[in-house]
Amino acid sequence: MGLRLLATAGVISCWTLGAQTPAANDSPFAGSNGCRPCHPAQALQFFRNPHFKTTVAKGATPENMGCEACHGAGKKHIAAGGGRATIPNAFSLMQPNQVLDACLRCHSKDVNRANIRRSSHTQANVVCTSCHSIHRSDSAKSLLAAKQADVCYGCHSDVRAQFSQPFKHRVNEGFMTCSDCHNPHGANSGVSKTGHRPRMVETGLQNEQPCMKCHTDKRGPFLFEHAAVRVDGCESCHSPHGSTNARLLKRPVVFTVCLECHNGSGSFGRQADGIPTQSASHNMADPRYRNCTTCHVRVHGSNADRRFLR
Amino acid sequence: MRVLLIVLASVAAHAQPVVAPTPQTAGSPRGDNAGPYNITNSWEVGYRFRDVDGNNGKYRSDVNFGNGVRLLGGTLGVTSRDGKGKWMDELLLDARGLGNDPYQFSSFRVQKNALYRYDLLWRSNEYFNPALPIAGGDHFLSTNRQMQDHDLTLLPQSKLKFRVGYSRNTQGGPGLWTGQWFDGRGDEYSYFANIRRNQDEYRLGGDLQIGRVKLSITRGWELFKDDTNFNRDTLTPGANTTDRNTLSFLRRDEPLHGKTPYWRAHLLADLSKQFTIHGRFTHSDGQRDFIYDEFARGTDRLGAGRNRQTLLTGAGRRPVTTGHATVTWMPNNKVTVANQTGFHQTRMEGDGKYSEINNGSAGIAFAQFQFLGIRNISNTSEASWQPFKQAGVFGSYHFAERRIRSNEQEDFEIPRGTVPIEQINRNKAGIFGARLNPVAPLRILFSAEVGRNDRPFYPTSDKNYEAYTARASWRQKKFDLSTDFKSFNNANSTSLYVHSSTGRTWGATTGFTPRANVRIDAGYNYLLLDTLTGLAYFADFELVESNRSYYVSNLHTLHAGVQAQVQKKVDLYAGFVRTQDRGDGRSAASGAQSVFTAAQVFPVSYASPLARVSFQVRANLRANFGWQYYDYAEKFSRAQNYAAHTGYVSVSYSF
C-alpha cells in the first residue's frame, strides 16, 4: 500500500514536472534522477542491478548512463508527462531487431555474443527481452526472467520432457545449467558432425564438445581411439538430456548400440571398408555375449587394446 | 477465507520438478540498510527424509536424496547503495544442498565497480549407478565429482581488462569393472576400481578495445591425471560358473598423466553500423603419457594355472586447431546477412610398446602406432528478412567438407612411411523458415531443413535427413499457451543394411493465472521414435546377416502444477510429473531369440507427485514442509522397480 501511495505521489509529481518549463540546457538527456519520481519501483531497487554501475562510471556520457543508456533520452518523455510513445526505447513496443540493437550497443563486445545476429534464437525473433528481465529479475547476475532452466523450458517443452526421464543430467537438481553445454546467444559451427548439427552447442575449452568439460577421462588422446566418438561426437551413442535407457544410451540394450554400426557393411568406418563385425568367437545365442561392455570396457578409447578390452 | 489480491512473486512458472529448496525466501526483498550497504539474506536449513521400497540402487541412481540435515538453500546479497563502496560494491552468495545433498552448489561473486570482479562456482555431485542392464549389472560406480571455477577480472569496465582463472575437476570413489582373462575363450570377471581423477586448468588472458575493435586473448594450461587402480584378491569363477576358468588375483595400475596448453583469440569489429566481423582462432596441444602395468593369476579353460603380466608404455598426442571468420551485414533494420567460414583440424596419434609374460615365459611383444586425423572446413550463409512487423523469413545454406585419415600399424618395429587411408565426406544442408506475429500475443514459427551427406562415417550417421519444426505461442499477462512440433527423419542406406530413423515430438504447455494469487500450469509432450538398422552377428558359429534392430519408443510426458498464495503468508504448491514409454504396446517381453527380430522396446513409467507448504511465521522466519513421491516401474521386469517417499521440513531465516 505504501508503494502505491508513493507511486501515486510520483505520478502527480511527474505530471507536475511535465508542466514545468524545460531547462535551458538543450541536451535531450534528463539524467536518471528525472525518472525516479514516476518510476519509483524501478528506481528504488536499481542499485542492485548490474546496469547501476553506469550511473557511477567515471567519464561516462549521458547516453551511456543509467536509465537513458537503455531507454534513450528522456527529457521529451518527462515534458510530455510520460507515455510510451514519447520515450525513444520503450522495450515493450520495440521490434525484436530493435531490442537487439539497443542491448548490443554495449554488450556486443562480449565474445560470448559474437554469433548472436545469426543464432537460431534471433532467427526465431527470440531476443534479449525474451529471456532477460532487467527490472524484475530475481537473479542479480544474469537478470534472467526466471530460473535458467524454466526460461528454456518455456519454449523447449521437449527438452523439459527429456530431463524428466530417470536417467538425466542434473539440471533440475541444480547441479548443472543449460548454459554449461549451450550458448543461448549463438555458437560457432561445431567440431563434430561436419559442424552443422546440433546448433547452439558451445565448443569446450580445448576445441571439443562441451561433454569433455566434465567428462575429462573420455577426452583422451588415446592410443586406440573409438573413431565414431571423435568423428561424430558423443551423440553417436548417447542422448545427453535424458533417457529411459541406462547411461543415457540411445537404446535400452547395449548390443544394439554396438551392432547397428558393427555390421561390416558399406564403406563406413575409419578404413572406409565397413566397420568390422564382431569376432567369430562370439555367440549371440548366449546371453553372455549380449553385454558388449562386459569385455569391451574402454569403448571411449583405450591405450592398451585395439578392441578396447582393457 | 478472505483472500487479498496479491500479485504472486515471479517464482517458477512451470511445475517444479524437485520439491526442495523452497522458492519463497525469508526477509524483506528490499533488504536492510547497514551503513552504505544494503543486505538481503535468507537461509533454509532443514531435514530431508526418504523411505524407499524396492530397488534402492536404482533409486540412488535416479534420485539419491537421503536422510539428514542440510542447508537446503541460502542467499546473501550485500550491495553498495551508491555504487562507491570502499573495497567492494557487491557481494553475492548463493548455495544449495550443502551438507548432505547428493547435488550441491555454491556460487560467490564479489566486485568493485570498474576495479575487479571475482566469480567462484563450486559444484559437487554424488554419482551412484548400479545400472543393472549394463554388463550384466557388473558395472558400478559410486563416485563424487567436484568442480570449481574461479575467475578474476581486473578493470572489468575498462577498454583494457585482465583475466585470471583456475578450474579444478576431481572424481573419486569405488567402482566395479569387468574384463576377460586369459584368452579368447576365457571368462569374464568383475574386479574393483579405486577411481582417482584430477584435472586442473589455469588461464591468463586480456581484452583490449580500441575504437570499434576488440581483441581478446587467452592462454591456458590444462593438466590431467588419472591414477585409478584396479584389484581383486579373492577367487572368482567368473560369469560362467560351469567352466574351469577362474581369476584369483588381479592388480592393475595404469596411471595416465597429460597436459593441454592452449591459445584462444577473438577479434570482434564493428566496421560500421552495417558491418561487423568476428574472427576466432584456437589451438591446443593435448598430450597424454601412460603406463599400463597388470598382473593376473588364475586358471584357464583347461584348469591349468595361469598368470600373465602385461606392460605397456606410450604416449598419445592430439593437437587441435580451430578457426572461424564471420561477416555480418545489416543494410537496414529489416535485413541481416551473415556468412561464417569454419575450420577445424585435429589429429590423434600415439605410440605404445606392449609386452606380455605368460607363466613366467616371455610372450608377445610389439609396438603400435595409431593415427586418426580429422579436418573439417565449413561455410554457412544465412539471411533474415523482416519486411513487415507481422512476418519475416529466414534461410541458410551450409556446406562442409570433412577429410578423415587413418593409419593403424602393429608390428615389432613400426615403419612410419606408410600412407594413411583417406576419405572425404561432404555435407550440404539448407534451411528455410518463416516467423509470423499476426497479433501481439501470437507468434508462429516454421522451419524446414534438408541435409545430405554423401559419405556418412557409420551406418547410423546422418545421411539423407529432413527436420521440420513448428511452434505457436500465445502469451498474455494471465494466460500463455505454446505448442510445438518437431520431426527428424534420417535414411542411411547401403546395399543390405538400411538404417532409417524417425523421431517426432508434439508438445503443448500452458499457464493460467485466474486470480492474482493463483497460478496453474500444465504441459504434455509426446515423443515417437522408431529406428530400423541392419545387424550382422555370429550365433552358434554361423554369421547371421538377415536380422534387423528395430527400436520403438512411444514416450508420453505430462506435468501439471498449481501454486497459490493465501493471506500473503501461506504459499502452497502441488505438482505432478509423469513419464511413460509405452514401447510398441506389448504387454510382455519377447523370448530370447526373437530379441533380434522383434522391436526393441523398453516400456517404463516414472511418476512423481509433489506438494509443498510454506508459512510466514514472522517477517524474517518461514516454516516449510514438502513431500515428493517417486514411482519407477518397468513393465517387463520388476527387478529395478522402486517407490520412494521423500520430503523435508525446514525453516527459512533471514538475519
Question: What are the boundaries of each domain within chain A?
Answer: 2-86, 220-310
* B217: pLDDT strictly greater than 60: yes
Phi, psi of A200 (to 5 degrees): 60, 25
Q: A104 CB near a chain B CB, below 8 Å?
A: no
Torsion A272-A274-A279-A280 (CA) sign: negative
Torsion A43-A44-A45-A49 (CA) sign: positive
pLDDT at A2: 41
Contact (CB<8Å) B370/A225: yes
Q: How far apart are CA B71 and CA B17, in angstroms?
A: 19
Confidence of residue B1 (pLDDT cuts 50, 70, 90): very low
Range from B49-53, B367-371, B643-647 carrying the lowest mean pLDDT: B367-371
Torsion A115-A120-A121-A122 (CA) sign: positive
Contact (CB<8Å) B435/A125: yes
Same domain (yes/no): B197, B316: yes
pLDDT at B582: 92
**DSSP strand E in B58-186: where?**
68-80, 90-98, 103-112, 116-129, 140-154, 160-181
Q: How far is CA B238 from CA A287, A290, B227, B233, B248, in A?
A: 14, 16, 26, 14, 10
Q: Is A117 helix (H, G, I), strand (E, B) or coil?
A: helix
CB A201 within 8 A of CB A210: yes
Q: Residue for cell digits 576419405?
A: B423
pLDDT at B597: 54
Q: B210 CB near a chain A CB, below 8 Å?
A: no
Would B433 be classed as within a structural domain? no
CB B259 within 8 A of CB B287: yes
Q: Residue for cell digits 561436419?
A: A194
Q: How far is CA B276 from CA A304, B3, B81, B269, B328, in A?
A: 49, 55, 37, 6, 5
Q: Is B222 helix (H, G, I), strand (E, B) or coil?
A: strand
Q: How far apart are CA B588 and CA B119, in angstroms?
A: 53
Give the tens place of pLDDT for each residue, B491-547.
Answer: 987 655 678 889 999 999 999 999 999 999 999 999 999 998 888 899 888 998 888
pLDDT at B340: 94
Q: B352 CB near a chain A CB, below 8 Å?
A: yes
Would B151 be classed as within a structural domain? yes
DSSP state at residue B338? E
pLDDT at A9: 40
pLDDT at B169: 96
Contact (CB<8Å) B376/A145: no
Phi, psi of A288 (to 5 degrees): -60, -30
Give the tens place of pLDDT for each residue, B442-455.
Answer: 999 999 999 999 99
Would B165 be classed as within a structural domain? yes
What number of H helices and E strands is found in chain B?
A: 1, 32
Structure-block grid coordinates of residue B462? 546422418
Give the tens place of pLDDT for each residue, B565-622.
Answer: 999 899 999 999 999 999 888 777 765 445 565 568 889 999 999 999 999 999 999 9
Residue of A nearest to B475 (CA): A154
Domain count, chain B: 2
Q: B298 CB near a chain A CB, below 8 Å?
A: no
Chain B, 553-592: which have a CB under 8 Å from a chain A CB?
553, 555, 557, 559, 577, 579, 581, 592
Q: How far apart are CA A37 and CA A17, in angstroms?
A: 9
Contact (CB<8Å) A265/B496: yes
Would B427 be classed as within a structural domain? no
Same domain (yes/no): B456, B322: no
Which among B97, B384, B497 has the least Cβ separation from residue A265? B497
Secondary structure of B159-171 as H, E, C letters: CEEEEEEEEEEEE
CB B510 within 8 A of CB B523: yes
pTM for this model (two decimals):
0.91
Q: How far apart are CA B162 and CA B515, in angstroms?
A: 51
Q: How far apart are CA B319 and CA B328, in angstroms?
A: 30
Give the tens place of pLDDT for each residue, A72-111.
Answer: 999 999 999 988 889 999 998 899 999 999 999 999 888 8
pLDDT at B123: 97
Same domain (yes/no): B453, B325: no
In DSSP notation, A212-270 reads GGT-GGGT---SB--HHHHHH-GGGTB-SSEESSGGGBSSSSHHHHHHTT-S--TT-TT
Q: Is A209 helix (H, G, I), strand (E, B) or coil?
A: coil
User: Rg (Cα) of chain A, in Å, rounded?
Assistant: 28
pLDDT at B412: 61
Mean pLDDT, all residues of chain B? 90
pLDDT at B85: 92
Number of other residues whose CB lies within 10 A of the CB of residue B175:
17
Structure-block grid coordinates of residue A191? 567440431
Same domain (yes/no): B152, B254: yes
Which among B135, B461, B509 has the least Cβ separation from residue A294? B135
CB B575 within 8 A of CB B562: yes
Would B457 be classed as within a structural domain? yes
Q: How far apart are CA B525 and CA A172, in angstroms?
A: 17
Q: How far apart are CA B551 and CA B596, in angstroms?
A: 11
Give the tens place of pLDDT for each residue, B263-278.
Answer: 999 999 988 889 999 9
Bigger pLDDT: B184 vs B329: B329
* B114: pLDDT strictly greater than 70: yes
**DSSP strand E in B300-360: where?**
305-332, 335-358
Share of chain B above pLDDT 70, in %: 94
Q: B316 CB near a chain A CB, below 8 Å?
A: yes
pLDDT at B136: 77
Q: Which domain holds residue B488?
A: 448-475+484-495
Residue of B nearest to A155 (CA): B482
Q: Is the peptide bond before A221 cis (omega within 30 degrees of 0)?
A: yes
| CA angle, B572 then A153 then A138, to 5° | 60
- Measure the N-to-C terminal CA separation of chain A; round to a whole number of Å: 71
Contact (CB<8Å) B507/A221: no
Same domain (yes/no): B351, B463: no
Q: Residue for cell digits 573419486?
A: B172
In this structure, the strands spanning B599-600 and B548-566 are: parallel
* B564: pLDDT strictly greater than 80: yes
Residue of A nearest to B504 (CA): A158
Q: A206 CB near a chain B CB, below 8 Å?
A: yes
Would B341 be classed as within a structural domain? no
Contact (CB<8Å) B459/A268: yes
User: Rg (Cα) of chain B, in Å, rounded?
Assistant: 30
- Rounded to two decimals, the ipTM of the complex is 0.92
Of B597, B601, B600, nearest to B635 by C-alpha is: B601
Same domain (yes/no): B369, B463: no
CB A217 within 8 A of CB B197: yes
* B341: pLDDT strictly greater than 90: yes
Q: How far apart are CA A212 and CA B286, in angstroms?
A: 13
Q: How far apart are CA A279 and CA A289, in angstroms?
A: 11
Which residues in chain A are contacts of B372 at CB distance < 8 A?
225, 227, 230, 270
CB B92 within 8 A of CB B109: yes
Q: Which residues of chain A have pLDDT under 70?
A: 1-24, 205-206
Confidence of residue B10 (pLDDT cuts 50, 70, 90): very low
Give the tens place of pLDDT for each residue, B121-134.
Answer: 999 999 998 877 77
Which among A205, A221, A310 has the least Cβ separation from residue B220? A205
pLDDT at B495: 58
pLDDT at B239: 86
